[in-house]
Homo-oligomer: A and B are copies of this chain.
Amino acid sequence: MLSRFLSPRIQELAHQLREFVDQELVPLEQNAFHRPFQETEQALKALRPKVKAMGAWNLYLSKDHGGPGFSLLEVAQLSEILGRSPLGHLSCNCQAPDAGNIELLLSHASPALASQFLHPLLSGDIRSCFSMTEPDFAGSNPVNMGTTAIREGDEYVINGHKWFTSSADGASFAIVMAVTNPEAPKPHMRASMIIVPTDRPGFDLVRNIPVMGHAGSGYHSHAEIRYTNVRVPVTNRLGAEGAGFALAQERLGPGRIHHCMRWIGICERSFDLMCMRAATRDMGNGSYLGHKQTVQHWIAESRAEIDAARMLVLNAAETIDQAGSKAAAREISTIKFFAANVLQKVLDRAIQTHGALGITDDTMLSYWYREERGARIYDGPDEVHKSSLAKKILADYGMPRSTH
């Protein structure tokens, strides 16, 4: 029924991507996360010709930049398909955090920086990371930050402590958020984004943080990093001094759409698993698991909630397409908490439907249950997004700002 939303020019690609995910990526999944992830990165590299033949390489990019040139609404729908496998986005070079970094560099990199950092990203020769979150400061208030970049001559000298710098292990460079203008009157005008090659002296990847039982490796990891007197040229800065948060905001809208559609892809695959289990699990005496009213209700509620989440996200995408990220601020806040909660509910029901099998690694459900618990936390916890949305709404009704 939702195919009405599918624009004609992506229908063929959507179909091909679905086959690609099912036939090429799903078979790689079982081993991907129990061995060094670099093996899987190699396997995905071998699939690149297929991806390029489909026209799905750098899926998010405009034609100018060598991508297919789809609208965000179109890209969103393809992103759902890729989301059915944890390897989907990576196979098409549109995985976080590289996709966001590419967008930043497309808009703000000098030709020299582009040549050094952007072009190898676009070709998939290197990976990158985005180093913003700090363990000692609440992520829900990102203007609060301890890392500094002090100018000495033509260089910045960077000191700080970051964590949850995803995919730093094996990345060629980090885009680091650091305070360059501590005296700026407004807190959100104090930081800048600076490119730091990971082989610079003083860049110390302390550890891949063990998350939900696994430290991971390569692309599939979250690093703790100490920056100690790391020196980079001032020309490595993206945008103006103090513009770091403005750039981060830019990066946010489309990134949120991709995340949410990826979650919906996970939901749909989990929904398939749940329904298949319910339809085929024989309970004896001619009775099937799916004859149980409770399982039926889980399926019906999941169907309704997934469809609802998709419509909210596609609507947000279309609003961004038509009016820009700023105009879609409310929609972008809304989908974050709505979709993350649907994801968690669907995964929980799918696991419960599988019984003991659901907690094993014999299906992907337990992987997502672990990996995606963070969905309600990263990019700002749900609680922050709900309050942010409500404050905008209440301002329309004339509520004074809190003086506290």
Task: Report A147-170 residues with CB < 8 Å from chain B CB.
Answer: 163-164
Complex interface: chain B residues within 8 A of A140 (CB): 283, 355
Closest B residue to A390 using CB positions = B296
A138 to B356, CA, bound (A): 10
Complex interface: chain B residues within 8 A of A394 (CB): 275, 278-279, 290, 296, 299
Contact A315 B304 (CB under 8 A): no
- Looking at the complex, which one of B210, B361, B369, B389 makes contact with A373 (CB distance below 8 Å)? B369
Q: Say if the beta carbon of A360 comes within 8 Å of chain B.
A: yes
Q: Say if the beta carbon of A209 comes within 8 Å of chain B.
A: yes
Contact A402 B291 (CB under 8 A): yes
Given A213-B213, A311-B315, A393-B299: A352 and B381 interface contact (C-beta under 8 Å): yes
Q: Say if the beta carbon of A45 comes within 8 Å of chain B.
A: no
A109 to B308, CA, bound (A): 39
Question: Taking the nearest CB of chain B, how far is it from the CB of A299, in angstroms?
Answer: 4
Identical chains in the assembly: 4
Contact A356 B163 (CB under 8 A): yes
Q: Chain A, 359-370, contact with B by CB distance < 8 Å: what is the 0/1 string?
A: 111100011011
Contact B334 A359 (CB under 8 A): no
- Looking at the complex, which one of B287, B304, B334, B362 makes contact with A307 (CB distance below 8 Å)? B334
Contact B139 A356 (CB under 8 A): yes
Q: How many residues of A contact B (CB 8 A)?
A: 101
Q: Say if the beta carbon of A141 comes within 8 Å of chain B.
A: yes
A278 to B138, CA, bound (A): 12
Question: Taking the nearest CB of chain B, how far is it from the CB of A26, in angstroms?
Answer: 17
Complex interface: chain B residues within 8 A of A2 (CB): 315
Closest B residue to A322 using CB positions = B4
Q: Say if the beta carbon of A251 comes within 8 Å of chain B.
A: no
A289 to B403, CA, bound (A): 13
Q: Say if the beta carbon of A18 comes within 8 Å of chain B.
A: no
A287 to B138, CA, bound (A): 11
Q: Say if the beta carbon of A294 comes within 8 Å of chain B.
A: yes
Further 16 A-B residue pairs, CB within 8 A, beyond A279-B394, A280-B398:
A1-B315, A4-B318, A135-B357, A138-B281, A138-B289, A164-B356, A212-B369, A213-B367, A290-B397, A293-B293, A293-B294, A295-B390, A299-B394, A308-B311, A352-B377, A355-B377
Listed in ascending order, the chain A residues whose CB lies under 8 Å from chain B are 1-2, 4, 33-34, 133, 135, 137-141, 144, 163-164, 209-214, 275-276, 278-281, 283-284, 286-297, 299-301, 303-305, 307-309, 311-312, 315, 318-319, 322, 328, 330-331, 333-334, 337-338, 351-352, 355-362, 366-367, 369-370, 373-374, 376-378, 381-383, 385-387, 389-391, 393-394, 396-400, 402-404
